[in-house]
Amino acid sequence: MYSYTLHAPAKINLFLEILGDRPDGFHELVMVLQSIALGDEITVRANGTDDIRLSCGDSPLANDATNLAYRAAQLMINHFPQAHSQYGGVDITLTKHIPMAAGLAGGSADAAAVLVGLDLLWNLGLTRPELEQLAAQLGSDIPFCIGGGTAIATGRGEILDPLPDGDCFWVVLAKHRSMEVSTPWAYQTYRQQFGKNYLNDDQSQRARRKTIHAGPLLQGIQHRNPGQIASHIHNDLEKVVLPAHEAVAQLRQALQSAGGLGTMMSGSGPSVFTLCQDQATAEQVLAIAKEKLNDPDVDFWLTHTIGHGIQIIDH
């Protein structure tokens, strides 16, 4: 029986700006998303039954339809019933390395890998835009996770424009092991506190704001200028998550004062990252921040930015 094992990279947000709320309950965003080498491993294998069977190893993740990876397989079955009857059900094995509920799109990356994996396993030959369209039905970050690299994401995060690869940073990542931040909570709280500042929903105003706010960062990316990139990273959700979670603010402070080019919370948190120009600096930043914090509940990772999304690692 054929199987595919895929690497599903996490992402960090180099930029997250909330432009307004939307009638569908989501928020209109401008994000710059960046893949990092830290990732999960997903194997998909035809199982000779009609069913989806998901195994998540020793991670506490559920193996049912509450798991995005499972829902991704359901979506593929619903869209391609003929392939399902031809090839049968699928065993999905998930090996988790990306911390959960961390603002790193771990669940989204897994779901993206299942879409790509079933496309391969069932010989569907879907194009990237077709896969992205399916992905958008499952979650806002999933289309990005398919192709990864560096991209600007607008709409609710599903409209992607690729940017030149920003694969020039080492990244120190840190997160309190026992802390999770709910993404819906972060957006709702932002809306309650800052919603009055939204511009009206006029498209041209949105486009203007996009260039004003993300402009210097985008220029830095175009020119592959690490200093300019790192000094223009931004995340609106810090305004609600940091005051509500003093420990995240302290972690951010410890990382920022440990050196590196720039520090920011990723997505809705609570993970925090520091961009560094080389591996030696990143190792130093990690050691200093670890010593400063002296908190056994904080996990650290040393990783680097990469220029791709889901990749086959075994077949």
Asked whether the beta carbons of 245 and 179 are under 8 A apart, the reply is yes
For the question of residue 141 being annotated catalytic, the response is yes
Taking the least distance from each CB to ligand C5P, the nearer of 11 and 176 is 11
Q: How far is the CB of 109 from ligand C5P (least distance, A)?
A: 12
Question: Using the rule CB under 6 A, which residue among 3, 93, 95, 183 binds ligand C5P?
Answer: 183
Contacts of ligand C5P in 13-32 (CB under 6 A): 26-27, 29
Q: How far is the CB of 140 from ligand C5P (least distance, A)?
A: 3
Within 10 A of 222 (CB to CB), how many other CB atoms are there?
13
Contact flag: residue 267 with ligand C5P (CB under 6 A): no
For the question of residue 11 being annotated catalytic, the response is yes
Read off the DSSP letter of residue 158. Answer: T
Q: What burial class does residue 280 get, using C-beta atoms within 10 Å of its C-beta: 0-12 exposed, 13-18 middle, 19+ buried? A: exposed
Q: How far is the CB of 276 from ligand C5P (least distance, A)?
A: 28
Beta-carbon contacts of residue 163 (< 8 Å; ≥ 6 apart) = 32, 149, 150, 151, 152, 218, 221, 222
The residue from 11, 91, 96, 175 that is catalytic is: 11
Round to whole Å and give the CA distance between 118 and 55: 16
**Which residue is it, tokens 């997160």?**
175
Contacts of ligand C5P in 124-163 (CB under 6 A): 139-141, 156-157
Best CA proximity match to 196, nearest among 29, 30, 21: 21
Contact flag: residue 184 with ligand C5P (CB under 6 A): yes
Taking the least distance from each CB to ligand C5P, the nearer of 27 and 232 is 27
The binding site for ligand C5P (CB under 6 A) comprises 26-27, 29, 139-141, 156-157, 183-184, 187
